[in-house]
Amino acid sequence: MRKFTYLIPKTFDEAVSLHESYGEKAKYIAGGTDVLVKIKEGKMRPNYLISLKHLLDQERPLLNHETGELSIGAFTTHRSIETSSTVRLNYPILHDAVSNIGSVQIRNVATIGGNLVNAVPSADGAIPLITLDAKAHIYGTKGKRTAELRRFFLGPGQCDLDRGEILTKLVMPPLAPRTGGAYVKHGRRSAMELPMLGAGVLLSLEEDMLTCAKARICLGVAAPTPLRCIQAEKYLVGKAIDESSLVEAGKIAAEESKVRDSIRGVAWYRREMVGVLVEEVPTVRMLIVLTARPEFVPPWPPRTSTRPAMVMSPLATSSSGRVPTPRITPPSCRSIVLKTCRPSSSRVEARGSVSPSS
């Protein structure tokens, strides 16, 4: 393996200064699960590695109970996010994604910022963060700036960072009232592998608990960068969330996708699966059960337990300005894997299984 000098700055200013001094000979490193592999393979040949793991205030997700914003340091490990009660209880869509990245050993080291900066189309962490309208906080020689995460990705392996800039943290705005969401990673098997397709759906309902007030649909491995399905989102807003509206939203999302043939799947199959996942992810019955109105009777037939569950965040069950104290503990929907998918002339049928909460 190529020899290099390992530098350990204590502040962002020091890290940026070191990168400015050594220029193209230097490379930032956080968890190292991507950088070290590329060095071993000869794809990257830095003389200096500038560690970002020792910078302060980067350990756990932090929920601001005054503003309702969730802040996550870019150098927070996936495992720290996965085991955070704040994320598990209030942002299950994010918990779904990070708990399906690699193995526990990898998640103990790999960071959420590294997952994003690597900018591969299959980055699981990007999908739920985009549905949550996350903003990227960036620091460089010109000072601080922010960017919408949905616009952060420019292409495979390319992101909106100038030379020497550092992604420092991710900030998500408060959840809207009556909001629930889930993420599904679809692949050939449930063991460690890159997804064939990833889908995240986040829905907010009106007070009638039926009409969609806000929708976010984001796909992974469906385009060169994570893809927001804007037209499908617009279609759902103002409509009753029932099976017919979800089926139509799935069709629109499939048309918006930019899938291609690859070693992990052909384009036509991925396009059909986009429609299936967008329809199947929001199991509205679970969303209703977990709200603060258990007496409410849904006006549509209950969905079966084999479908992925959209879990309502306890932070999103109040329309008041204050963030309520969680009163319920939603189950985890973290190991959702579509077991079988059989193409037919009309659509793709799929059976799902939800593992018990850990």
Return the pLDDT at 348: 30
pLDDT of amino acid 300:
40
Spatial separation of the C-alpha atoms in residues 93 and 122, rounded to whole Å:
16
* 14 burial level (CB within 10 Å; 0-12, 13-18, 19+): middle
Residue 314, pLDDT score: 55
Q: What is the DSSP string of 216-240?
A: EEEEESSSSS-EE-HHHHHHHTTSB
- In sign, the C-alpha dihedral spanning 308, 122, 55, 3 is positive
pLDDT, residue 169, reads: 93
Handedness of CA 295, 299, 301, 307 (dihedral sign): negative
Other beta carbons within 10 angstroms of residue 346's beta carbon come to 6
Query: Do the Cβ atoms of 260 and 282 come closer than 8 Å?
Result: no
Identify the pLDDT of residue 321.
40
Closest CA to 331 of 287, 282, 284: 287
The pLDDT assigned to 286 comes to 42
| Cβ atoms 226, 153 nearer than 8 A | yes
CA 182, 188, 189, 194 torsion: positive or negative?
negative
Predicted pLDDT of residue 59: 62
Beta bridge partners of residue 145, listed in sequence order: 138
Distance separating alpha carbons of residues 335 and 189, to the nearest angstrom: 11
Instruction: Look up residue 252 and give its two tokens.
Output: 């629109």
Q: Which residues contact 351 (CB under 8 A, 6 or more apart)?
A: 306, 338, 339, 340
- Domains of the chain, each with CATH number or no CATH: 5-51 (3.30.43.10), 62-172 (3.30.465.10), 179-324 (3.30.390.50)
CB atoms within 10 A of CB 37: 11
- Distance from C-alpha of 193 to C-alpha of 188, rounded to nearest angstrom: 9
Residue with tokens 């009163």: 327
Task: Check residue 315 and give its pLDDT.
Answer: 55
Tell whether the torsion through CA atoms of 155, 157, 161 and 166 is positive or negative: positive
* Secondary structure class of 211 (helix, strand, coil): strand
Q: Per residue of the chain (358 residues), what is the pLDDT tens digit? A: 778 999 999 899 999 999 999 999 999 999 998 899 999 988 899 999 999 988 865 667 888 888 999 999 999 999 999 999 999 888 989 998 998 888 899 999 999 999 999 998 888 899 999 999 999 999 999 999 999 999 999 999 999 999 999 999 999 999 988 888 888 888 777 667 778 898 999 999 888 888 999 999 999 999 999 999 999 999 999 999 888 888 899 999 999 999 988 887 889 999 999 988 888 776 543 444 344 344 444 444 434 333 344 555 555 554 444 333 333 223 333 223 222 223 333 333 232 333 333 3
* DSSP 3-state of 138: strand
Q: Are 278 and 199 in contact (CB under 8 A)?
A: yes
Q: How many CA atoms lie within 13 A of 268 on its CB side?
A: 5
What are the φ and ψ backbone dihedral angles of 323, each rounded to 5 degrees?
-80, 120
Neighbours of 208 (CB within 10 A): 11
Type of residue found at 277: L
* Cα dihedral 80, 84, 86, 88 in deg (nearest 10): 110
Radius of gyration over every alpha carbon of the chain, rounded to an integer in angstroms: 20
**Residue 289 has what pLDDT?**
38
